[in-house]
Amino acid sequence: MTNNSLTDNYKGVFDGRIGFGKRPALLIVDFINAYITEGAPLYAPDVVSAVHETVDLLSLAHEKNIPVLYTKVLYNKNFRDGGIFIQKVPVLKTMVEGEPLAEIVPPLSPIDSDIIIVKQYASAFFGTSLAATLTSLGVDTILLTGCSTSGCVRASAVDGMQYGFRVIVPRECVGDRHPGPHEANLFDINSKYGDVVSKNEVMEYLKQLVGFDTPSAIASGYSTNGVLLKRKIMKALNGIRILDLTHMLSGPYSAMMLADLGAETIKVEPPKTGEGTRRLLERDPANSLNGFGAYYMTLNRNKKSVTLDLKSEKGLEIFYELVKTADIVISNFSAGVTKRLKVDYETLSKINPRIITCTVTGFDETGPGKDRTAFDMVAQAMGGNMSITGQPGNPPTRAGFPIGDLAGGLMATIGVLAALNARHLTGRGQHVDISMLDAQISLLNYMATMHFLSGIIPDKLGNGHFVHVPYDSFTCSDGYIIIAIIADNFWEALLTVIPADDLNTEEHKYQPGRLKNKELINRRLNEIFSTNTQKHWLEILQSARIPCAPVNNVQQAVNDEQVLFRNMIVEVQHPNGGSTRMPGNPIKLSDTHEETFTPPPLLGQHNEEVFSMLGLSPADIEALQTAGII
């Protein structure tokens, strides 16, 4: 079949102005080292022709900010250099076997936000994770091109269509080392393997895509077939999949932060009951919305939910299939539970060597305190925090918000991100072991160091400071303000704007003298500030650039103009209707800066979506539900 006759056969389709879809991606198949098999003939004319045609499409795709996907197939493990292929096609440079990515030199250099895919077999281009990634980018059409064998293009075309993408193949951009017209082998009139069009038609289509809106930053992740992605994204962790086994506060908080940053976060919950946070405040009319309490509503935005009985053999089998597609498994069970459930790192890394697991426990997985029960207040008490919180002479006081739990979640997030970068360097996953007590000891910071240096056990100081004076809260006529004088020049500035000539002495000029007379200075400042309002004094103090602030209550804090300007209060919908406001994402990135907040999921809301990725049919899923496995 010739190009002309093929065009004629498709003329009716073309005349009907076939739509390419609103959001395409350009897939360049086997472009980096196709045809390189030691001792095999090289069909250079066909390859070179495909290269030049593909370069045209590539350049235009980059110009229009269209996601570009490259693939590299490891055909021959003994291959070490490009040889004659490099000589014939000088614009290409192949990689040495074993390196993580192929290196492409100009004019084929991928821009930073392109996707580069390394696959072992031509028939395994698409994995569920890659398909989900493209779908999340809004891609509905794959422009399939490259210097590939017919089998590779066919496999990629079939895979793409199986995942619901429209596949378009510009015939001039498909190389073929097999004799005869490759179109005749690849395609039939029923478009079994995709729609074959001319390169000019694709070029004209691409030229119309001015203003095509795609994200522009970089992230790395892996699909089900070990595919490395560098791609256009809207959030920093797009393409990362997390299996969230957490409950209560510390674990869910960490998973929430990762979800806010773009990770696909799938809550794996017990059937019927779900994880424990679902029940907290669910029946409290003042602190719930349509059966979701404030805890669950806040901690589970941007997540999906599946139900799965991990204590059943079939449930564990399904979970292991999910692990093959995942990057991270995070949990905060008591020490030893992950091992008993067979979801520990040692077990899961045999299924997916790239998996990262993270556990948040009270004390750790192995130490002398590992079997103790731990919640937020336990960590605060044992970590020393309560002993230095509160007014002198009063009983120990816990922090106003659950810093024991939240610090554990923060450390888990940091640890997971560190492990992701390490995996980028080594290709291996690892276990992240977070102890809530460790986190509290870390937060003691310089106070613990001062103890080691001086031998003095710190005591409660109220709102004051070990060293700095004045550094405290002070009473105004309508509330409280704080002043934080941490340098001598701030003290000098303070004396220029308040009526306190009696404090302007040589002794008070420097920190040691002020520390010596701390009670006198604080008493005098309270007398001065109590004569007028917060607003009055804050305006005066801020004009002199003195560190100061009102002591806000929660209502005042969440309505502060700076807080609102930073999008730190966001509206989150309930899946059954209604919405509430809650704190937003404090991590503001300059490029991958999109902030979206999807509703926290109903129990098992995403069973069909997630389990169908594993090849389970609706009938299979219904049977699992009947059996109580999901």
Amino acid in position 235: K
Of residues 265, 222, 441, 225, the one with CA closest to residue 358: 265
Contact 496, 552 (CB under 8 A): no
| DSSP three-state, residue 418 | helix
Query: Does the N-terminal peptide bond of residue 470 adopt cis geometry, omega within 30 degrees of 0?
Result: yes
Annotated catalytic, 548?
A: no
Could you please report the per-residue DSSP string of 560-583? -HHHHHTT-EEEEE-TTS-EEEEE
Both tokens of 342, joined, read: 């067979």
Of residues 5, 2, 6, the one with CA closest to residue 181: 2
Of residues 93, 91, 121, the one with CA closest to residue 106: 91
First to last CA, the chain: 52
Of residues 244, 220, 259, the one with CA closest to residue 332: 244
Three-state SS letters, 65-99: CCCEEEEEECCCCCCCCCHHHHHHCCCCCCCCCCC
Please give the DSSP secondary-structure letter assigned to residue 588: -
Please report where in the chains the tokens 């290269």 appear, as a residue.
Answer: 51
CA triple 182-186-188, angle to 5 deg: 120
Q: Which of 147, 152, 358, 548 is catalytic?
A: 152
Please give the DSSP secondary-structure letter assigned to residue 363: S
217 beta partners: 233
Catalytic residues: 152
